[in-house]
């Protein structure tokens, strides 16, 4: 018998620019091992008759105990809102030109906003500590924005050295091109490979990336983009797709429920301290291949500790660009990432934007300019 059955009234709504998007209430489904898992999203005023019927169905299901998610966020009044901070600058990136000093100002402004600490050293140490071995995890992409991640990595390493961290504490993961040698010479070398032991993530088993065992903390720096397999590549996709030796299962059902199940693993979720999404240039069509024609120069870095909230904001931004910017004539502008709904059900963060505070267009703090 299931220990508890929670019903929440989560009606999804979001205002993006001049358009309001409302999704229907989710219908509860259980899964067999061969089916997909869905969320319990009902109305809190569900009739006793419907509730009794649901309990009867669950009671008759011998597999229900194994496959029900019991970690849903118990916050129906929305008192524990998640925060996403958009730090914006016109001059950090222009085409293929990247201003590293401006990136450093953006990074330091963002960390002050999200931590609530005015002192830069204390702000970064809210999330990483002097004893940590920290992986800075980027998105492996090839194309016009290749140099941006390299410059973000260089800017972060310079900041960390300036506030007293050692370069030997950091590992750069996922970069095709590294910053200059003097910056990375002392960093932990990232080696491609896989752990020997299989891990169980409910819908399957696989080997995780070897580097996960070498670090105590992760700063996740995804390139926010659309994806031709699972619709949206963001914070959650960046810490799942490249973590598996056999990621082919993510092609099934657009990554749902595999992405949130893999992210939930303690080897991943238990080490993530902060997400900083690269929205300096946003590939809104054709991802993961980067095509300059479908690249929107937003000039932003998004900061959050909630990967689901961050991805939902990113999803709405990409939807906006697909409606307002150039798109192929025979392609719809619609974009869905159902795995984010499953992620909220699992308690990994908020998909419902009624419970997300989006702090838009925070300008760099001029007091940080020396």
Residue 24 has pLDDT above 80, yes or no: no
Residue 216 has pLDDT above 80, yes or no: yes
Query: What does the pLDDT read at residue 168?
Result: 96
**% pLDDT > 90, the chain:** 46
pLDDT (tens digit, 9 = 90+) per residue, 153-191?
A: 999 999 999 999 999 999 999 888 889 999 999 999 988
* DSSP structure class, residue 154: H
**Position with higher pLDDT, 29 vs 296:** 296
Q: Are 277 and 222 in contact (CB under 8 A)?
A: yes
CA angle 293, 298, 299 (to 5 degrees): 125
> What's the chain's Rg over C-alpha atoms?
21
* Closest to 10 (Cα-Cα) out of 19, 23, 21: 23
Token couple for 71 = 């970690």
List the domain boundaries for the chain: 82-368
In angstroms, rounded to a whole number, what is the distance separating the alpha carbons of residues 259 and 36?
A: 12
Query: What does the pLDDT read at residue 78?
Result: 56
Size (the chain), residues: 370
Query: What does the pLDDT read at residue 277?
Result: 96
Fold of the domain spanning 82-368: Rossmann fold (3.40.50)
The residues, ordered by sequence, that sit 6+ positions from 328 with a Cβ below 8 Å of its Cβ are 285
Query: Checking DSSP bridges between strand 282-283 and strand 225-227, what pairing results, if any?
Result: unpaired
Confidence grade of residue 15 (pLDDT, cut at 50, 70, 90): very low
Kindly tell me the sign of the dihedral angle through the C-alpha atoms of 199, 205, 206, 212.
Answer: negative
| E-strand stretches of 17-169 | 19-22, 82-88, 93-94, 97-98, 134-138
CA distances from 285 to 291, 320, 364 (A): 8, 12, 29
In angstroms, rounded to a whole number, what is the distance separating the alpha carbons of residues 181 and 33?
A: 49
Least confident of 243-257, 268-282, 349-363: 243-257
pLDDT (tens digit, 9 = 90+) per residue, 306-322?
A: 999 999 999 999 999 88
Q: How many CA atoms lie within 13 A of 92 on its CB side?
A: 28
Query: What does the pLDDT read at residue 143?
Result: 60
CA angle 307, 310, 311 (to 5 degrees): 85
In angstroms, rounded to a whole number, what is the distance separating the alpha carbons of residues 107 and 303?
A: 9
| Residue 139 host element (H or E) | none
CA distances from 320 to 18, 142, 316 (A): 10, 24, 6
Q: Are 224 and 278 in contact (CB under 8 A)?
A: yes
In angstroms, rounded to a whole number, what is the distance separating the alpha carbons of residues 200 and 10?
A: 30
Residue with tokens 């401006």: 102
Residues 261-289: b if buried by 16+ CB within 10 A, e if exposed: bbbbbeebbebbbbbbbbbbbbbbbbbbe
Query: What does the pLDDT read at residue 25?
Result: 31
């Amino acid at each position: 018998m299931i220990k508890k059955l929670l019903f929440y009234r989560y009606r999804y709504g979001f205002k993006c620019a001049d358009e309001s998007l409302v999704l229907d209430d989710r219908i509860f489904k259980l899964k067999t091992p061969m089916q997909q898992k869905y969320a319990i999203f009902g109305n809190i005023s569900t009739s006793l008759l419907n509730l009794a019927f649901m309990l009867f169905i669950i009671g008759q299901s011998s597999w229900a105990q194994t496959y029900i998610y019991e970690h849903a966020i118990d916050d129906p009044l929305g008192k524990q809102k998640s925060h996403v901070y958009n730090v914006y600058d016109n001059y950090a990136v222009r085409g293929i030109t990247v201003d590293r000093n401006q990136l450093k100002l953006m990074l330091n402004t963002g960390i002050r906003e999200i931590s609530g600490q005015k002192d830069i050293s204390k702000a970064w140490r809210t999330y990483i500590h002097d004893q940590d071995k920290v992986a800075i995890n980027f998105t492996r992409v090839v194309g016009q924005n290749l140099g941006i991640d390299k410059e973000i990595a260089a800017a972060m390493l310079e900041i960390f050295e300036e506030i007293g961290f050692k370069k030997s504490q950091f590992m750069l993961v996922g970069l095709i091109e590294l910053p200059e040698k003097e910056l990375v010479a002392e960093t932990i070398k990232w080696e491609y490979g896989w752990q020997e032991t299989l891990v169980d993530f409910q819908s399957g088993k696989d080997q995780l990336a070897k580097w996960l065992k070498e670090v105590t903390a992760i700063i996740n720096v995804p390139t926010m983009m659309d994806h031709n397999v699972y619709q949206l590549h963001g914070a959650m996709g960046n810490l799942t797709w490249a973590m598996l030796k056999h990621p082919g299962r993510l092609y099934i059902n657009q990554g749902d429920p595999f992405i949130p199940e893999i992210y939930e693993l303690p080897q991943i979720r238990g080490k993530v301290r902060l997400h900083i999404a690269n929205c300096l240039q946003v590939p809104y069509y054709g991802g993961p291949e980067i095509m300059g024609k479908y690249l929107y120069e937003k000039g932003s870095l998004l900061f959050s500790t909630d990967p689901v909230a961050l991805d939902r904001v990113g999803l709405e931004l990409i939807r906006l660009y697909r409606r307002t910017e150039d798109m192929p004539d025979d392609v719809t502008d619609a974009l869905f990432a159902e795995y984010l709904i499953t992620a909220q059900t699992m308690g990994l963060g908020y998909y419902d934007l009624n419970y997300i505070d989006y702090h838009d267009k925070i300008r760099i703090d001029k007091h940080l300019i020396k």
